[in-house]
Structure 1
Amino acid sequence: MIQRILLGVDGSEGSEGAVRHALALADATDATLHVLAVVETLDRAGEAVSGDPDTPEQDAPDPDWPEKTLADVTARAADRGVPVETTVERGVPYRRIVDHARTADLVVVGRHGTGGLREFLLGSTAERVVRRSPVPVLTPETDTLARPRYDTLLLCLDGSDGARAAIPPVTDLAQACDATVHVLSVVDTTPFDPDVVVDLLGGFETLAEGVVERVADDLASAGVETVTAVERGVASATIRTYASRVGADLVAMGVTGATGLEASLLGSTTAKVLRAGERPMLTAPRPSDSPAPSV
């Protein structure tokens, strides 16, 4: 169950989408919302370091942003009857968020922070949180609706344990929002020689059908309405096209899939879908018995 949601804010415009989703999710799941404002600190070389009262802070548009942001979110939460806790800390934003994530069920963090990044880039706070968080992370779309909806969820699977990690949070969200879950597996055609691909795809599609049907059966037993699909194509592009076709309100994927993520999201299917920013994305961490990337 989603009982505690951690919202990371940094005073930037990029945080607004995260605020809207965090409020909507907390309202839908009856969760407590913990709002964490991290004031980034820099050492003399300009590198972000852990909080130290003697360390100069990075320039910000408004030095009072933490108090103003927390007051704004608290007021908006009160309008919805959402219980709120607030914390202000200094340090490296992603490290502080990941530290607090250990006591949360879900993290919500904006796509870009004070640097004004227009895309989800390697090295950003959001990317680092996604890679290191011990719990699922929701990253909003580029243009977030005033009141996000979660009526249609898209769960993407490839048969790996990493991909299956997204099933529990999707189940929880679908139950709370009475949502329909589309269970999709894409048979990625890019690695194959065109001369032999026809002979191979039939077998892969049969395996994929088995994966989505088993998960759909499990979701149905939990009272969740499901739709299953197996499609061919380039995985990231096919997922985005399918999400558009069914009007998915959220796309859920494991942080790692069949090919593994190693130390970077760059180039992975998950990263490509996330970078597009077309829809909110829920990413779930690898199983706890698998090695995690170093911080």
Structure 2
Amino acid sequence: MKILVCADGSKRNKNSLEFAALVAKAVNADVTVLHVVENGVDESEEIFSEAVKIIEKKGVEKIKTRKLKGRADVQILKHAQRNKYDLVIVGSHGVQYLRAFLFGDVAVRIIEHIKTPILVIRDKRPKIRKILFCTGGSSFAENAVRFGSNIAQTAGVKATILHVIPELPAMYRGFGMGESLSEFLECNTPECIALKRAAKILEEEGIETEVKLSHGLPSEEILVEAEGNNYDLIVLGSHGMSSPSRFLLGDVACRVVKYSKTPCLLVK
């Protein structure tokens, strides 16, 4: 696996570097540390030295560095696409271009066009022990489960699959809102099929898996589950959980990424 790690030199970027190293070590990946010089003083050598030191400390051996110049979000996208990385890792804090990358107009363009899974990291996580997989009844969700299973299997972690039944308008309440997990699993809906398929994928990889069902607003339920049970990674399909055609700022996955303290892996 080839992983691209974006380094900006900020204090908070250390969190993303350390977690990136955990992932890279788990899957025996080759790591490229990328720094984009937008303007001002070129501090790439210092940034690379610190980044390599952090990643090597976690036992990762194959590390390269790459410096580019220009607008950071554009350069990240171009470099990721040209070099066919399997995963791009960014921090949600740090310099302003990463904020724009995630939540501005630039983010919409990047996430619409990039095919590479993206791991977004905010707070520090010392280990990868528990992964939360979120299903949405689409091929995008299955892609996310398959990709995330590689990390879960090699890291030897526990997995939880969460499916959220969205709130219904008042006139329809009572339909399915009190449904238990066992009742839901007896259905033949696309959502039920996707949930059972996700469980099968993980179990076939030998991953200890728990299935959960929740009712409410999907983004809120995911955040509550993640924070309440101290997960180390959330895995989401970046399409299909809310909008079938494009990733909008109002979509479930984006709201989870924006507000979650837990690292989030978005997979198309």
TM-score, L = length of structure 1: 0.78
Matches for 1:104-119 after TM superposition, within 5 Å: 104-115=85-96
**Offset of 1:126 from its aligned partner?**
6.5
From 215, 235, 238, give the equivalent of 2:221: 238
Structure 1 distance, partners of 2:93, 2:109, is 11
The answer for the alignment partner of 2:172 in structure 1 is 196
**Offset of 1:131 from its aligned partner?**
4.3
Asked if 1:277 corresponds to 2:256, the answer is no
| Paired letter, 1:123 | G
From 110, 123, 143, give the equivalent of 1:165: 143
**Offset of 1:122 from its aligned partner?**
2.5
**Offset of 1:99 from its aligned partner?**
2.2
The answer for the alignment partner of 1:248 in structure 2 is 231
From 67, 72, 76, give the equivalent of 1:93: 72
Give deviations 1:20-72, integer Å, cap 9, x for gaps. 121121122211110111112xxxxxxxxxxxxxxxx2x4xxx2421111111
Are residues 120 and 200 of structure 1, via their aligned partners in 2, closer, same or farther at CA, if it must alter by over 3 Å? farther
Are residues 255 and 162 of structure 1, via their aligned partners in 2, closer, same or farther at CA, if it must alter by over 3 Å? same
SS state at 1:77 partner: helix
The answer for the alignment partner of 2:206 in structure 1 is 223
Are residues 280 and 183 of structure 1, via their aligned partners in 2, closer, same or farther at CA, if it must alter by over 3 Å? same
Are residues 181 and 92 of structure 1, via their aligned partners in 2, closer, same or farther at CA, if it must alter by over 3 Å? same
Structure 2 distance, partners of 1:210, 1:117, is 36
SS state at 1:199 partner: coil
Asked if 1:69 corresponds to 2:47, the answer is yes
The answer for the alignment partner of 1:33 in structure 2 is 31
Indicate conservation of the 8 Å contact 1:109/1:126, yes or no.
no
The answer for the alignment partner of 1:6 in structure 2 is 4
Structure 2 distance, partners of 1:16, 1:133, is 25
| Paired letter, 1:89 | L
Question: Structure 2: which 5+ residue stretches go unaligned?
Answer: none
Are residues 64 and 119 of structure 1, via their aligned partners in 2, closer, same or farther at CA, if it must alter by over 3 Å? closer
Structure 2 distance, partners of 1:118, 1:14, is 13
Structure 2 distance, partners of 1:160, 1:138, is 20
Structure 2 distance, partners of 1:121, 1:78, is 27
Structure 1 distance, partners of 2:2, 2:17, is 15
SS state at 1:33 partner: strand
**Offset of 1:127 from its aligned partner?**
6.6
**Offset of 1:11 from its aligned partner?**
2.6
Count of matched residue pairs: 258
SS state at 2:115 partner: coil
Give deviations 1:99-157, integer Å, cap 9, x for gaps. 2323211110111342288898622777765444311111012x213x3x221100001
Indicate conservation of the 8 Å contact 2:137/2:192, yes or no.
no
SS state at 2:134 partner: strand
Indicate conservation of the 8 Å contact 1:255/1:270, yes or no.
yes
**Offset of 1:180 from its aligned partner?**
1.2
Indicate conservation of the 8 Å contact 1:33/1:83, yes or no.
yes
From 186, 198, 221, give the equivalent of 2:164: 186
Which shifted more, 264-273 or 233-242? 264-273
The answer for the alignment partner of 1:15 in structure 2 is 13
Q: CA-atom RMSD, angstroms? A: 2.6
TM-score, L = length of structure 2: 0.86
Structure 1 distance, partners of 2:215, 2:172, is 15
| Paired letter, 1:195 | M
